[in-house]
Structure 1
């Protein structure tokens, strides 16, 4: 009995130490999945040896195959490897909650400025700055995913199609087409060979229940919060990659179709999240809060919570389902091959998003200068992202 108590005590101490390391990762992770992986390598591999570098690379590959927030799923998988499902859930909270809380508060920014009689013009350069971030994301992703003529054509397909058709259904459709085309044109053999799996089905069932249930509720119940949860949950299971990839999908539905917020308000939130550490998908808390405005502060907070939970939940359920069977699943070539086409289409989506939001921001000289300066500083790595955000904020209120 005493030995069992000692073991539990040791586990508790180990878990607390691990969660402190997760918090360190959260507070030091700027700039999207690629930058986050550097932080994970330093903190989780080199300093604390929770896993080897080879194991981390494998987890990154696994989470790249899955839809949802890639870096979040990676660190949750590390938590699962270290202490099972409960530690994985606590990892998710420690990793995402700080920035989700800040983004929820920032959804009240426009009301705060209005209440204090401060001109909202001070935020006018945040939008053009955000376009700079999107351009750089499109450049990096495009350079990585375009490897041959097929992937170039798929990138153009994704870009041209979503430029002319700005409906929510087009985004998952072109992503699926990209995956199918990649599989059909692949010269690799034995793509779908059978492997022995023993999956934890309850997590996949829960994923399906939330997917179907949210759609049914959204169709049968005219409630803003329900609609928001369904939208953000859908973003979570249809988007591959980091927060940059979800921008065109969100912008189309929240700004253009439903007009829950203006283009400037959308880009302000996206720009501000660039200056904060943690997962880029935390932008969902800001977007959900902004979309739920018009009633009470509590309703707005609930909208932010619906956005945050909605977008992270599918990725969490999928990693819980996939991670225990990963060793065998990674042998299926077809999954990796389809991702090649999906990522190429996603590159086209992001490129077009940059064009559309820039057009909506207005092609005036100061906006163009801010966008080009932001892109230039990011590409040359002269200044860190948080400092760029701070300088642009100050410039907006001073100039």
Structure 2
């Protein structure tokens, strides 16, 4: 199902590895305008090779890439390899190690990659524009495979005993990369993955951009040819592991045309409601039951849970895996039925924004920049996999996988001269 191959990655010159912390960049949708401006001040930071650069000048990324290659700031490995990638981090006092590897996946069977999010036209077009200009993929998307037997982990552990480089990023995550060049070991990775269907965890716009770019070029060469643009760089982790976290993304609402007391009154039609003694009690109120949420107003907070009889009246024709999601319930019963924002307008509504940091939600509501915050539970990997296998998608901003991949660790060139080796 999933056809993967090793590749000859481009990366920063080894002399620059000690300063990688200052050369990598988080993904654009995780950055504020202030953070983006700060990263662009470093003339060698990898953010210059991302779609954000298009806002500076049309061919900024292409100029930077040409300069960096000519000055050996970026260099290419001479042998194809599987790149082992570990992320060691702490979460709620516990220590975790997310183990995975970076390889190329064949886009000619894109049905082998299941998605759980819809994409927007503009970000996809920006990805295509960047690929046309640079012929470079500056960061891997993140895919999950399922291997309860953990057949690849021993090979990855062995490789990681001699990492190429490792450093601690700005969030305190230890990033480590090693490479496997041994043909027998590489064959094992290919063999394990060929029976897999991949669940796309992160990078929907990047993947769709690569597929759109591939379709533009295919008529020129034919779909059966082994062209570099038929492949996409992906970071693969084992979904059978418990080392990957999915953090909740909360909802902020502003400029509502309904008063707080009317919202509370309308809630009673669908939800059981409990008023908290203080808004700050939210910090000590865990969400552990299905279809439950915490609502924060400036001077009041509520715990609400959808009543079972309300759920039975849920009119959606979506698969059960989607219908049962907390966020499906939230967006139908609360956002549409109570706040009056139709489903078709929710994706681009200026009344809705998304925030992962609870403290930022408190600040937004207290300052009056937001009228209301709704805190949600995290979704499980099993729920993501179930939705993907159903062929449907989740509501917008349903998942935030942690830890994230970074831009600047490895680059994949889709120039044909950079991929001529026996694996294709």
User: What is the TM-score with the length of structure 1 in the denominator?
Assistant: 0.24
More helix by share: 1
User: What is the TM-score with the length of structure 2 in the denominator?
Assistant: 0.23
More strand by share: 2
